[in-house]
Amino acid sequence: MTLVLEAEKLCVERSGKRVLQDITFDVRAGEAFALLGGNGAGKSTTLLTLLGFLAPAAGTVRVNGRAVQDDVAAARAAIAYLPEAAALYGHLSARENLRYFLSLAGAPSSAEAIETALDSVSLETAARANRLSEYSKGMRQKVAIALALLREAPILLLDEPTSGLDPVAIDEFHALVRRLAGAGKSVLMVTHDVYGACQVAHRIALLRKGELVGRFTAPENGRIDTEVVHAAFVGRQAA
């Protein structure tokens, strides 16, 4: 079993305060993993540490088996990071955004590859030449995912990817993430959405105030039970 992301006894401090305490989890190749927690639990801090923007005070983070601190560039090259609000240009179309950001990354793609990526995220063909300022948030999110696919990064880090999306767009997004994991991408999604985490993830780790307080695994070909996770999240026994 290949582990693409690992946190081992990870402790992180911010402004002198311990905000992650002894966090241990791993993400396997081809797996969708959710790090679930409330506001201030330490989800973004974990992502920033995996990306090498914050250094562990103790413990280790590894990307593809290598300590992030030893080779930050390699870690970042393996990861496509989607922040909560996709940083794309409103005055450019989907196609133009992709062309621009790929050339900026030194990885230009053919028009054909761009269409294939937009197909795989199901962005309507008719909208592809329109400016992103005319797009819904769900459509912009699809363009951001298409960009991640074109970068061919094997690992996707998603920060609250469905906040601000309507229920139809959320369902579509969850299905897309499952499809990507099925196609071999490794996905780490951080979220406070219990339902979304259960829809998407093969495994969930629950963070509370910087500590990992619960772990859940989906049954084969099934989903993690939302009720059980919800109860753990709010801190009571499941009925």
Q: Which of residues 38-67 bind ligand ATP (CB under 6 A)?
A: 39-45
Q: How far is CA 129 from CA 95, 133, 134, 158, in A?
A: 7, 12, 11, 26
Segment interacting with ligand ATP (CB under 6 A) among 33-41, 111-119, 136-144, 175-183: 33-41
Q: In this chain, which of 30, 37, 56, 161 binds ligand ATP, going by CB under 6 A?
A: 37
Least CB distance to ligand ATP at residue 54 (A): 9
Per rule CB under 6 A, is residue 192 in the interface with ligand ATP? yes
- Rounded Cα distance, 7 and 193, in Å: 22
Q: Which of residues 153-182 bind ligand ATP (CB under 6 A)?
A: none
Tokens 């094997």 found at: 154
- Rounded Cα distance, 233 and 28, in Å: 24
Per rule CB under 6 A, is residue 16 in the interface with ligand ATP? no
How many residues are given for the chain? 239
**Sign of the alpha-carbon dihedral angle for 182, 81, 1, 193:** negative
Q: How far is CA 203 from CA 33, 104, 198, in A?
A: 5, 35, 8
Q: Which of residues 98-157 bind ligand ATP (CB under 6 A)?
A: none
* Of 45 and 141, CB closest to ligand ATP: 45
Least CB distance to ligand ATP at residue 62 (A): 20
Binding-site ranges for ligand ATP (CB under 6 A):
14-15, 19, 37, 39-45, 192
